[in-house]
């Protein structure tokens, strides 16, 4: 059920109850009139109860039925007819009809006034022909009935119009009050949600600022460490370059040593050849010395001196051969050593060449590491600057969150003021605008989604405007 329809139903129930109490209040009046004019108190009692019973029973059966205001209008003018009858057609009692028509405006029902007017016309016409003394206390013609009918029409038309306008204003009041209640509740809920969100945003911004501060400090430490690593990498690059140069020089010197060992090996081979020649010469000399000794022995006394010389030559040849053999052995050992030295120097040259290649690779890698470290240092510095900017933005967001929380507090005060105004309107009108099962506005916080309220708001305001235009047409 729409809130404005609910408001109208509550209004109808209240005014219908008042009207029924007003109808029931006629009972002592009718009894008094019957007693005063001696027109039958029993008749007054039963007819009054019968007239009031109809609208009361309809109201009990269905308080929101359209038949209730119709029955009240009929009952009101029926009581007017009974009052006129009990007063023996006293002309002043006809005023009750106009009072009843005016009072029926409070129901805000055109149908009740039309029903009352028709009931009055039927009563006057019927009783004029059946029991004229019950209508007028003097000899009146049908023209007087027409005059009364004209007066009823004259007051009935504007009363019907005013009742329609009154109903429109009641509906508009229901729309305004109902949606004012919705707005107050929505503002209250939104301010609560906004306050909570602002508080959470402020807390989150504070935590984020602290985290960013820690991150910034860590980045500064990392930047310092990266700069140190870059410096160490640069220094290692320099040492690697120096080691590469030294290994290159060592490889060149080992190559020189290898060539020298080759030269020594060649010289040793030449010496061995020469010693072999000397050994052969000593061997031939020894043979010649033996031959000379034999010839000296043959010569006897004459060859004794030559024999001594030959013997010394032979001894010298033997010593020369022995020395040549020993020298040849040493030369062979030297040649073998020079061969082993050449092989070792060749192996060392190969190892140094491998070291040189690996040193070059290390030099290249260390250079790349140094370049990468410099780039990382530059990147971390940029990240540190970006984190600094984020820190500024976070501080600004925290400041905005604090202002938002302050604004939400002011909005909450405005919401409280709006709720107080709504309560004042409720007190003045004597009824609540909330649903029977719904808590009063401002008393209980109703959970709802803040975004949904924002999404619904434009369409609801448009429907409210259209509803007001329909309920409040132009006066012309």
Per-residue pLDDT reduced to its tens digit, 233-256: 777 777 777 777 777 777 777 778
**293: which 2 tokens?**
């000794």
Class of domain 227-407 (CATH, top level): mainly alpha
Per-residue pLDDT reduced to its tens digit, 372-386: 777 777 777 778 777
- In 255-358, DSSP assigns E strands to none
* pLDDT classification of 425: cutoffs 50, 70, 90: low
Cβ atoms 148, 124 nearer than 8 A: yes
**436: which 2 tokens?**
């029977």
* pLDDT classification of 275: cutoffs 50, 70, 90: confident
Model pLDDT, residue 1: 47
Cα–Cα dist 275/262, whole Å: 20
What is the mean predicted confidence (pLDDT) over 69-85? 92
Cα–Cα dist 274/282, whole Å: 12
Higher-pLDDT residue of 294 and 83 is: 83
* pLDDT classification of 60: cutoffs 50, 70, 90: very high
Residue boundaries of the structural domains of the chain:
3-196+428-471, 227-407
Q: Model pTM greater than 0.75?
A: no
How many separate helices (H) and strands (E) can be counted in the chain?
Answer: 9, 0
Cβ atoms 445, 412 nearer than 8 A: no
| Pick from 250, 315, 248, 253: nearest CA to 282 | 315
Per-residue pLDDT reduced to its tens digit, 427-462: 655 556 554 444 444 443 333 333 333 333 444 444
Model pLDDT, residue 190: 74
């Amino acid at each position: 059920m729409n809130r404005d329809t609910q408001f109208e139903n509550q209004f109808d129930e209240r005014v219908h109850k008042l009207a029924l109490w007003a109808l029931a209040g006629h009972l002592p009046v009718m009894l008094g009139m019957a007693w005063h004019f001696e027109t039958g108190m029993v008749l007054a009692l039963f007819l009054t109860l019968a007239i009031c019973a109809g609208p009361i029973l309809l109201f009990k059966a269905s308080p929101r039925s359209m038949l209730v205001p119709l029955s009240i209008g009929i009952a009101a003018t029926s009581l007017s007819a009974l009052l006129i009858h009990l007063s023996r057609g006293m002309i002043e009692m006809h005023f009750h009809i106009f009072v009843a028509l005016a009072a029926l405006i409070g129901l805000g029902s055109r149908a009740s006034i039309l029903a009352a007017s028709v009931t009055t016309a039927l009563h006057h016409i019927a009783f004029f022909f059946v029991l004229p003394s019950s209508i007028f206390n003097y000899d009146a013609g049908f023209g007087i009935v027409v005059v009364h009918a004209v007066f009823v029409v004259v007051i009935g038309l504007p009363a019907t119009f005013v009742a329609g306008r009154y109903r429109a204003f009641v509906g508009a009041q229901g729309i305004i009050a109902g949606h004012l209640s919705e707005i107050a509740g929505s503002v209250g809920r939104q301010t609560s949600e906004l306050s909570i969100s602002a508080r959470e945003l402020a807390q989150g911004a504070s935590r984020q600022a602290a985290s960013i501060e820690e991150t910034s400090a860590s980045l500064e430490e990392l930047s310092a460490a990266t700069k140190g690593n870059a410096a160490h990498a640069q220094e290692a690059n320099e040492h690697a370059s120096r080691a590469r140069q030294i290994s290159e020089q060592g490889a060149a010197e080992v190559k020189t040593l290898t060539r020298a060992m080759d030269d020594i090996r060649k010289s040793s081979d030449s010496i061995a050849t020469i010693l072999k020649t000397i050994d052969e010469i000593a061997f031939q000399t020894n043979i010649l010395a033996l031959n000379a000794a034999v010839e000296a022995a043959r010569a006897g006394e004459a060859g004794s001196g030559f024999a001594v010389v030959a013997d010394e030559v032979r001894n010298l040849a033997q010593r020369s051969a022995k020395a040549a053999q020993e020298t040849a052995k040493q030369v062979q050992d030297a040649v073998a050593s020079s061969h082993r030295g050449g092989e070792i120097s060749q192996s060392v040259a190969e190892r140094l060449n491998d070291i040189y290649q690996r040193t070059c690779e290390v030099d290249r890698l260390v250079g790349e590491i140094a370049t990468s470290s410099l780039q990382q240092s530059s990147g971390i510095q940029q990240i540190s600057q970006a984190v600094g900017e984020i820190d500024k933005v976070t501080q600004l967001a925290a400041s905005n969150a604090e202002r938002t929380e302050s604004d939400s507090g002011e909005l909450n005060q405005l919401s409280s003021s709006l709720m107080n105004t709504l309560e004042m309107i409720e007190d003045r009108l004597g009824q609540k605008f909330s649903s029977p099962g719904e808590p009063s506005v401002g008393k209980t916080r109703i959970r709802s989604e803040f975004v949904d309220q924002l999404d619904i708001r434009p369409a609801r305001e448009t429907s409210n405007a259209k509803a007001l235009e329909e309920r409040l047409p132009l006066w012309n």
